[in-house]
Each structure stands twice: as structure tokens, then as C-alpha cells.
Amino acid sequence: MRLAFSLAFWGFMLLSSAILFPLALLLFCVTVAFDRRRWAMHRFTSWWASLYTWLNPAWPVRIHGRERMHEAGPAVIVANHLSLVDILVIFRLQSHFKWVSKHENFRVPLIGWNMRLCGYIPLRRGTARSIRAMMRRCNEVIGEGSSILMFPEGTRSATGRLRSFKSGAFEIAKKNGVPVQPIVIRGTGEALPKRGFVLQGRHPISIEILEPIPSGEVDELEPEEMMDRVRATIAEALSSDPR
């Protein structure tokens, strides 16, 4: 039963992507001349990605603390990373950001092509040149007024336990004088584990928006200190139920 449901889900994703990508391409052509931040493309992509949780009865999503989301200007958004589903549920926030993602994702037909149209930021892990290019692009994006989204663990946790963080997101926040917005994701690892593509039955999913850390506090600490603070904050939140 799980296999059949999984095949139906991935088939729907493929079919819908084949239908929606040409619409995304048309939207890009119409808006690229005046929409420098590609706001319209990101809004369309947020709706597209949200379809897969809205229409999936196995993945009921609850959002806690939406009012705490920093929307007054750009920020560095950081979240724990459990599953491929994470980015789908974050898109449910309908908040504007540029997602930093491994470069392999940009090669995925239709979905990866759309990521390029949206101006999301590729990263080849472990490659110094790619890391420098990513950091430069993040600085540019923030300068244009857009937030960035990063998973500071770098890769998905196979066990659900929070992995060590990398400091890049916090270096970017300090350099640009912007807040850090922590987000906690629960349930996605059980819904779709790191290894495999078989959906694991019904698993409630939640996103909890924590209090943003103001830019003044970001500036007071070294990036590694802020990294440790944010990791501890997310770890503490993961150990309890969302309010």
C-alpha cells in the first residue's frame, strides 16, 4: 500500500511539474525585465511546492508562530534539515527568500530548471570556489532586499538528531547586518526518511517559527558564537512540543 501511494505521489509530482514548468517559464519571460528580486517567480514556486503538502492527506502541516517571522527586511533564515520534504513545508510560509541548495538539485529536470529561473543559489559542497561564489551571491541577494534560506547542518540528518552546524549562514548575517530567523521542522524525517522514496504513512508535520535574533545581537557575537547560540536554541525547541 505504501509503495502504491508513493508511486502515485511521485507520478503526480512529475505530471504536475510538466504542466507547471511551462507556466513558470512564461511568467519568467513576462516579469524578468522589471522583477529583479523575482518575487513573482518565488510566489508561484511557493504555491507550486505547497501543492504537494496541501493535497497529500499523509502530510498534514501545522505552522506555529507565523507572526514571529521577520518580514520587515532581509534576514538569514536557518532551519534544521531532516528530509526532502523540508523545503516543501517551508514554502508553505509564503515568505520571500532565496534558497541555498546543493548544485545537483539544479540539474533535476523541470523542478531544477525552475530553481534557476527563481535565482536560487547553488552550492557544491566541499568546494572552496563554490562556497566563495555562494557567499558572494548571498551578499548580493541580501543587498537587493531578499532573505536567504540555509540549512546550516549542510545535509539531512538520517537519525533525526540535530547535526553540527556550519558557520556560513552566520558569517553572512554578520557581514550584512541582518537578523537571523531560526525555524524548527518536525515530522518530515518520519514522513520521508533520508534514504529512500517510499512515503511512510500518515505523519503530522509542523513548522515552528522562533523569535528572530536582531541584527544588533548578531553584530555583537562572532559567527561561531552565533552559530552555537542558534543551534542550542533549535535543539531546545526540538526537545519540547511547540507552543
Architecture of domain 2-238: 3-Layer(aba) Sandwich (3.40)
pLDDT computed for residue 186 by the predictor: 93
| 35-39 own/partner pairs: CB under 8 Å, 24+ apart | 36/144, 37/96, 37/144, 37/145, 37/146, 38/117, 38/118, 38/119, 39/96
pLDDT at site 67: 95
Q: Which of 129, 107, 128, 70 minimizes the C-alpha distance to 120? A: 107
Q: Within a 10 A sphere around the Cβ of 102, how many other Cβ atoms?
A: 15
- Burial tier of 190 (Cβ tally within 10 Å: 0-12, 13-18, 19+): middle
101 vs 1: which has the higher pLDDT: 101
Please state which of the ranges 30-44, 106-120, 189-203 shows the lowest mean pLDDT.
189-203
Cβ pair 27, 44 in contact under 8 A: yes
User: pLDDT tens, 212-235?
Assistant: 999 999 999 999 999 999 999 999
Q: What is the pLDDT of residue 242?
A: 62
Smallest CA-to-CA distance from 165 within 226, 120, 119 is with: 226
Give the per-residue pLDDT at 58: 85
Among 92-96, 145-149, 200-204, 226-230, the minimum mean pLDDT is found in 200-204
Strand partners, 205: 61
Question: Residues 6 or more apart from 107 whose CB is under 8 A from it?
Answer: none
pLDDT band at 148 (very low <50, low <70, confident <90, very high): very high
Separation CA 31–CA 79 (nearest Å): 30
Angstrom distance (rounded) from CA 206 to CA 188: 8
Indicate the burial class of 26 (C-beta count within 10 angstroms; 0-12, 13-18, 19 or more): exposed
Quickly count: other Cβ atoms within 10 Å of residue 65's Cβ.
16
Q: DSSP 3-state assignment of 176?
A: helix
- What integer pLDDT is reported at residue 4 of this predicted model? 84
pLDDT band at 76 (very low <50, low <70, confident <90, very high): very high
Q: How high is the pLDDT of residue 158?
A: 66
Show Cβ contacts of residue 119 under 8 Å, excluding neighbours closer than 6 positions. Answer: 38, 41, 98, 141
- Say which residue the cell 510538466 belongs to: 18
Give the separation between CA 83 and CA 165, rounded to whole angstroms: 16
Residues in the chain: 243
pLDDT tens digit sequence for 94-141: 999 999 999 999 999 999 999 999 999 999 887 889 999 999 999 999
- DSSP label of 84: T
Domain chopping of the chain, boundaries: 2-238
State the average pLDDT for the chain.
92
Q: Which residue has the higher pLDDT, 152 or 5?
A: 152
